[in-house]
Amino acid sequence: MREFSRRGIFGLGIGTAAALSVAGCTSSGSSASGKVGTKPGRNQGKPIGDGSTAYTGKQPHQPPAPEKLAPGQKPPQFVVFSWDGAGEVGNGLFPRFRKLARDHNASMTFFLSGLYVLPESKKRLYRPPNNPVGASDIGYLTDDHIKATLKNVRAAWLEGHEIGTHFNGHFCGTTSGSVAHWTPAQWDDEIEQAMSFVTKWRTNTGFTDLEPLPFDYSKELVGGRTPCLLGQENLLPTARKRGWRYDASSPGGLQVWPDKKQGVWNFPLQGMPFPGHSFDVLSMDYNILANQSKASTKAPPANYPGWRKQATDAYIAGFKRAYETNRAPFFVGNHFEQWNGGIYMDAVEEAIKHIADDKRKDVRMVSFRQLCDWLDAQDPKVLADLRKLGVGQQFTGRG
C-alpha cells in the first residue's frame, strides 16, 4: 500500500515551518487492534439507509451544557487534538490514542477520509473533481484495515469523540487537479461522495459481520480539514450552505481567540514555539518533521531521542503560552503514522499527559464540535474582548 504520491509545502512566514497535511497510511498487515469489545447485533439502533449507519440516540460522554462567561471572567483553556485520515492500518495507533483519551478524560476530532471505507475494487465509484475516475493520492485500504477502521470509528463516537471529514483523494500540489483549484460546486460534490462512502460502506464492501456506525452522518458531519490545508476559500461557501459549524483547514494561524470566516468558525493550525529556534512551527506532526528531517520520514535513528524531546517540548510550549497568557484555544493536528520511528506519536502522548495534569482544573481537552458549542453559548461582546488579546498577551480579567 503506497503512502502518498504528492506533497505540498507552503511558506507560512514563520521560519521554515511548512503547512502540510497528508492523510496517508504507511503500514500494512493484519492486527486485532480494531476490536472494541462488542458483538454484531447488539445496540445497533435504528438503521439508516442500507444499515451502514444507525440512529442510536444522543452521543454518550458529552460535557454538560456550556456555561456563559461573565464579562472579565477568565475562560477555560481549551485544547483540541485532531487526526487527519483516521484510518487504522494495523499499527495500533487509533486504539492507542482512544485509550489515552479515556485515561485522561479527553475528547478528540477524527477527520475520516471517505476512501478509507471504500474497497479498491470499487474505486471507480469515486469521481474526484478534475482527476481521473478512481484516482487518489492516498492508498486504498485492505479489507482488514477497512474493518479495523470502521470498528475504531464506531468505538470513538461511542466514547464521545467527533467524526469529521478529511474528504477523499487528498489531491495537493499545483496542478489543475489539486484541491487548491476546486470550485464551491466541486467541493460540494467531494463532500457528497465522502458522505456516500461512509453511509454505504455495507453495500460497497459486502461486509456482514460488523455493526453499523452509531450515528446519522448527515447530522454528525459539521466540519473538516482539507488535504494539505488547501482550498479553504472555495470550500467555505459550500460549508456554510451545508450548515457546517467550523472548518479547520487554514494554515499559519496564531495563538489567538478564533473568529468566524464566511459565517463558519475558523480553527486554523497555529504557530507554536519551536525549542532551539527563533521561529514558530505549525502545530502539526508533519511540520515538525519537515523542519527536523527535511520531510524524510525515515531519518537516521540516532536523531530520534533529541527530536522526540524537541517535538514534545514544542507542544507543551504551545499549551503553556496559551494557558499562562490569553487562554486562546490550542489546536494540534496529527496523523496515525510512525514517521521517524514513531517519535511524533510519542511526543503527542507525552504532551497529552502533561496537559491533563490534575492540578489544572480549568483545562478542557475537547473536540472541535464541543468547542463550537461553548463558543456559540457565549456573549459575542465577551468573545470580541478575548479576540483583542494578542499572542502571549496576558489576560487581565478576574480569575
3-class DSSP state of 314: helix
Say how many CA atoms lie within 13 Å of 151 toward its Cβ: 26
3-class DSSP state of 261: strand
pLDDT tens for 3-27 read 322 233 333 333 433 333 333 333 3
- Please state whether the predicted TM-score (pTM) of the whole model is above 0.85: yes
Q: Please spell the DSSP secondary structure of 10-30, one letter per residue.
A: -B-SSTT-B----------S-
- Report the C-alpha gap between 79 and 107 in whole angstroms: 9
Cβ–Cβ < 8 Å for 142, 116 = no
In the chain, where the domains are located: 47-55+70-387
At which residue does the C-alpha cell 519537515 appear?
Answer: 290
SS3 breakdown of the chain: % helix, strand, coil, rounded to 5? 35, 15, 50
pLDDT tens for 72-106 read 999 999 999 999 999 999 999 999 999 999 999 99
* Fold of the domain spanning 47-55+70-387: TIM Barrel (3.20.20)
pLDDT per position in the chain (399 positions), as tens? 223 222 333 333 334 333 333 333 333 333 333 333 334 445 689 999 999 999 999 999 999 999 999 999 999 999 999 999 999 999 999 999 999 999 999 999 999 999 999 999 999 999 999 999 999 999 999 999 999 999 999 999 999 999 999 999 999 998 999 999 999 999 999 999 999 999 999 999 999 999 999 999 999 999 999 999 999 999 999 999 999 999 999 998 999 999 999 999 999 999 999 999 999 999 999 999 999 999 899 999 999 999 999 999 999 999 999 999 999 999 999 999 999 999 999 999 999 999 998 788 999 999 999 999 999 999 999 999 999 999 999 999 876
Q: What are the distances in angstroms from CA 244 to CA 160, 223, 388?
A: 19, 6, 26
